């Protein structure tokens, strides 16, 4: 490996200038920077980030923890993932993908290694044991999602409450009065207590009661079969239902087929609105699904920013960002049928 | 931060024993190991991985590079991703997710930092400029995918050639003679030259010619609209076609709808086989799609293993793994209709 002196000689600058370019500690003109970088490339010089990390006790690595159980990777999660990695990269950090078990048993070992400066936690449950572990380890962290009581915790999350209200508002404006909500059946799985489902469900139930609307909630099994079962369950409970909110991408296709099999056209007889989902999912289906788009990119960017600002000490406030989904109408929603 | 001496005192062992536990350099009994680890936890001692990295000139970090353009995250990619991260973790490495532009312009900067011991490259094109950059940087790497001439490169990949042959074999055994193949239209996009598409297409064209079968290839646009367009284009080109291979998850639903709209029942009139896809995708649809399952988990594990074996010097051979997809029949394929 080349030394800094060799790089300086090759570029015709002082060793201090090379150091400024490598560490970004002082302004160097673009022309000189280019010359130094070219010399570094030619000599295969590797700015020793590791030595710098040791000196500063910081590694500029942040870990994104994801649960090892199940394949819970939706297009929204991917969007979130990629934008967090990209944002970290833009700000001079590196995002490590770290598998951990949902109980958080291995978290301690991972974080105690001193490799990471901070942690982003995703797929948060209402009472998540990993939050206590991270607090105990005194490592800076940010949640994507919220526990039941998250006032004292740094988080960014989808505003599920507002999203449900906006969804029902949109559909009542189209004349709908009788609603269904399809959620994933997670009782008895490692994801039981998954916060988004609980928030969506309780908001929906309160809202329909408050407004004197009809509202039926069903918990669907996996895939298209789950979706067809949900359609049947909804229409059995309320044959007059005219609008369905579905928060379960893998069953949306089956739901459409189930409604069609039961003699309901979408959207002429029943409107279907996909919740906290993506354009990529919406456009797979026919009719293309009207969707409350999850702010995946923005959540990822904000989560990275929130953590990095804690690490860099540029913000003393704990971030509390709640971003609602935004409506993208497509072909699956329309005015309620006349009775 | 606690010192190693403090940990030794708390655990009632010598400082050397603490060092053996931290660095794994010598056998320590499980009981003593537990005592040392408990003391480390209580004192929030962080085994200094960074210092060790400096001493050994290794960081035990490997980077998984993914292209920043487009949202190309399928369930298969996720599976691959997660299993590579998990395998790295099992073997004492950390997988970093690293966004890079498709031209590889920023690769040099990233790798030259000395942060990563090795690199896994995905979404490989036939003539991929990033391969030359990595070779030039002399950093150990493994490809997921293959360039046109990959004999001298380490790679693991789906065996698309065998997958297409197996697909056509399965369907000809069911009596089908007239085939369609649906691929993504990537001409003029940053993914032009994406190797899997080119391999699948050329194998398909050669195979149908060789066996005297009818074969039509169409390139579909995005989502369900692309799928419906593909159904129309296929049936216009060959109204007698009875089997379709589709290698494009986001258009599979639209393809089913398009066939149905054109008066073709699936699978009674036309069989549909999803290629290099996942059970999660298959089960979203109705009928559930018969699928050639991409070996996502196994590819991820093998890619991590292949790279780590290069890094640890436990294997001198360049890995060349080709794994075919495996058939999972569901509801979308059946015997060819009698004419």
Above 60 in pLDDT, residue B187? yes
Average pLDDT, chain B: 86
Q: How confident is the model over B115-130, as pLDDT tens digits?
A: 788 999 887 777 888 8
Average pLDDT over residues B246-256: 94
Q: Would you place residue B285 in the very low, low, confident or very high pLDDT band (cuts 50, 70, 90)?
A: very high
Backbone angles phi, psi at B118, to 5 degrees: -165, 170
Residue A215, domain CATH: 3.40.50.2300
Q: Are residues A180 and A282 in the same domain?
A: yes
Q: Tell me what the mean pLDDT of segment B26-53 comes to.
A: 73
Residue B89: pLDDT over 60 = yes
- Model confidence at B7, in pLDDT bands (50, 70, 90)? confident
Same domain, B278 and B213: yes
Instruction: Judge if B132 and B181 occupy the same domain.
Output: no
Reported as a single tens digit per residue, the pLDDT across A112-131 is 666 788 999 887 777 888 88
Q: Tell me if A284 and B251 make a contact (CB, 8 A cut-off).
A: yes
Residue B113 has pLDDT above 60, yes or no: yes
B residues 288..307 contacting A (CB < 8 A)? 288
Q: Could B41 and A108 be called an inter-chain contact, meaning their C-beta atoms sit closer than 8 Å?
A: yes
Q: At what angle do helices A4-11 and A15-23 cross, to 10 degrees?
A: 110
Residue A278 lies in a domain: yes
**B279 belongs to a structural domain:** yes
DSSP labels for B197-248? HHHHHHHHHHHHHHHT-EEEEEEE-SHHHHHHHHHHHHHHH-TT--EEEE--
Look at residue B77 in the predicted model and tell me its pLDDT: 75
Let me know whether B87 and B210 are in one domain. Answer: no
Candidates B41, B73, B222, partner chain A, best to mutate (most A CBs within 10 A): B73
Cβ-Cβ pairs closer than 8 A, A with B, add up to 169
> Is residue B20 within 8 angstroms of chain A, CB to CB?
no
Assigned domain for B42 exists: yes
Q: What percent of chain B has pLDDT over 90?
A: 45
Please tell me the predicted confidence (pLDDT) of residue A50: 52
Q: pLDDT tier at A47 (50, 70, 90 boundaries)?
A: low
Residue A45 has pLDDT above 80, yes or no: no
Looking at residues B147-151, what average pLDDT do you find?
80
Q: Would residue A149 count as lying in a domain?
A: yes
User: Does B302 lie in the same domain as B154?
Assistant: yes
% of chain A exceeding 70 in pLDDT:
87
Q: In Å, how far is B229's CA from the nearest CA of chain A?
A: 12
Chain B residue numbers with beta carbons less than 8 Å from the beta carbon of A254 are 284, 286
Contacts of A230 in chain B (CB under 8 A): none
What's the total number of domains in chain A? Answer: 3
Judged against a pLDDT cut of 60, whether residue B1 lies above it is answered with no
B197 is a domain residue: yes
pLDDT(A51) > 70: no
Closest CB to A250 among B98, B257, B280: B280
pLDDT score, position A167: 98
Is the domain of A117 the same as that of A172? Answer: no
Does residue B29 belong to the interface with chain A, where contact is any CB pair within 8 Å?
no
**pLDDT reading at B275 higher than 80:** yes
Share of chain A above pLDDT 90, in %: 45
CB-based contact, B272 to chain A, within 8 Å: no
Q: Do A98 and B78 touch (CB under 8 A)?
A: no
- CATH number for position B10: 1.10.260.40
Residue in A253, A289, A297, A300 to test binding to B, most B beta-carbons within 10 Å: A253
List CB contacts (< 8 A) between A253 and chain B: 253, 284-286
Assess whether A171 and A276 both reside in one domain: yes
For residue range A171-193, list pLDDT tens digits in order.
999 999 999 999 999 888 777 77
In chain B, where do the E strands start and end?
A: 61-67, 94-100, 118-121, 141-144, 155-158, 178-184, 214-220, 243-246, 271-277, 290-293, 320-323, 326-328
**Mean pLDDT for the stretch of residues A87-100:** 81
- Same-domain status, B255 and B210: yes
Q: Are residues A134 and A238 in the same domain?
A: no
B53-82 mean pLDDT: 70
Domain co-membership, A140 together with A105? yes
Taking an 8 Å cut-off on Cβ atoms, the answer to whether A280 and B45 are in contact is no
Residue A264 has pLDDT above 60, yes or no: yes
- Reported confidence tier of residue A328, pLDDT bands at 50, 70, 90: very high
Task: Write the residue in B71, B112, B252 that is nearest to A280 by C-beta.
Answer: B71
Do B196 and B279 belong to one domain? yes
B46 touches chain A (CB under 8 A): yes
pLDDT of residue B162: 97
Q: Are residues B289 and B272 in contact, defined by beta-carbon separation less than 8 angstroms?
A: yes
Beta-carbon separation of A96 and B99 below 8 A: no
Q: What is the pLDDT of residue B49?
A: 53
Q: Is the pLDDT of residue B211 over 90?
A: yes
Q: What is the pLDDT of residue B236?
A: 98
Please tell me which residue, A145 or A274, carries the higher pLDDT value.
Answer: A274
Band of pLDDT at residue B223, cut at 50, 70 and 90: very high
> Does B47 contact A251 at a Cβ distance shorter than 8 Å?
no
**Euclidean distance between CA atoms A172 and B3, whole angstroms:** 64
Closest residue to A113, CB basis, from B41, B47, B81: B47
Q: Is residue B82 part of a domain?
A: yes
| A77 against A63, higher pLDDT | A63
Say which residues have a Cβ less than 8 Å from residue A160's Cβ, sequence separation at least 6.
Answer: A196, A199, A200, A203, A276
Instruction: Judge if A38 and A91 occupy the same domain.
Output: no
Give chain B positions within 8 Å (CB) of A288: 223-225
Look at residue A228 and tell me whether its pLDDT is greater than 90.
yes
User: What is the band of A313 on the pLDDT scale with cuts at 50, 70, 90?
Assistant: confident
What is the distance in angstroms between the CA of the first residue and the CA of the last residue of chain A? Answer: 79
Q: A250 in contact with B at a CB cutoff of 8 Å? A: yes
The verdict on residue A165 lying in a domain is yes
Q: Which of A82, A96, A222 sits opposite B96 (nearest CB)?
A: A96
Query: Do A8 and A32 touch, CB atoms closer than 8 A?
Result: no
Give yes or no for residue B38 having a pLDDT over 90: no
The alpha carbon of residue B116 is apart from the nearest alpha carbon of chain A, in Å, by 10
pLDDT for position A269: 98
Q: Is residue A20 part of a domain?
A: yes
The per-residue pLDDT of chain A, averaged, comes to 86
* B33 compared with B97, residue with greater pLDDT: B33
Q: Range with the lowest mean pLDDT among A304-308, A321-325, B19-23, B295-299?
A: B19-23
What's the CA gap between A194 and B187, in Å, rounded?
Answer: 42
Domain range holding B10?
A: 4-47
Nearest CB partner across the interface for B224, out of A41, A86, A285: A285
pLDDT level of residue A312 (50, 70, 90 thresholds): confident
Q: Report the candidate in B133, B72, B136 with the shortest Cα–Cα distance to residue B106.
A: B133
Q: Find residues 198-237 of chain A whose CB sits inside 8 Å of chain B.
A: 222-225, 228
């Amino acid at each position: 490996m080349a030394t800094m002196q060799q790089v300086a000689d090759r570029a015709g600058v002082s060793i201090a200038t090379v150091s400024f370019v490598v560490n970004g500690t002082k302004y160097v003109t673009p022309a000189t920077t280019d010359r130094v970088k070219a010399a570094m490339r030619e000599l295969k010089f590797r700015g020793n980030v590791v030595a710098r990390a040791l000196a500063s006790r910081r590694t500029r690595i942040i870990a994104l923890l994801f649960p090892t159980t199940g394949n819970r990777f939706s297009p929204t999660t991917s969007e979130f993932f990629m934008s967090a990695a990209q944002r970290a990269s833009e700000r001079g950090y590196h995002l490590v993908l770290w598998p951990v078990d949902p109980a958080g048993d291995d978290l301690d070992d991972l974080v105690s290694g001193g490799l990471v400066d901070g942690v982003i936690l995703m797929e948060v449950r209402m009472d998540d044991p990993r939050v206590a572990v991270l607090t105990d380890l005194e490592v800076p962290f940010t949640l994507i999602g919220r526990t039941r009581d998250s006032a004292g915790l740094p988080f960014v999350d989808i505003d599920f409450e507002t999203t449900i209200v906006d969804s029902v508002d949109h559909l009542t404006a189209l004349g709908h009065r009788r609603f269904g909500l399809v959620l994933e059946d997670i009782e008895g799985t490692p994801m039981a207590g998954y916060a988004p489902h609980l928030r969506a469900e309780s908001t929906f139930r309160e809202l329909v009661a408050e407004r004197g609307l009809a509202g039926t909630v069903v918990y669907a099994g996996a895939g298209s079969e789950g979706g067809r079962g949900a359609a049947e369950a909804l229409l059995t409970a309320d044959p007059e239902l005219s609008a369905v909110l579905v928060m379960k991408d893998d069953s949306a296709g089956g739901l459409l087929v189930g409604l069609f099999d039961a003699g309901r056209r979408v959207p002429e007889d029943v409107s279907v609105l996909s919740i906290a989902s993506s354009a990529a999912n919406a456009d797979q289906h026919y009719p293309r699904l009207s969707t409350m788009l999850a702010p995946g990119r923005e959540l990822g960017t904000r989560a990275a920013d929130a953590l990095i600002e804690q690490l860099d000490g540029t913000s003393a406030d704990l971030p509390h960002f709640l971003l609602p989904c935004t409506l993208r109408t497509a072909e699956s929603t329309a005015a309620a049928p006349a009775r």
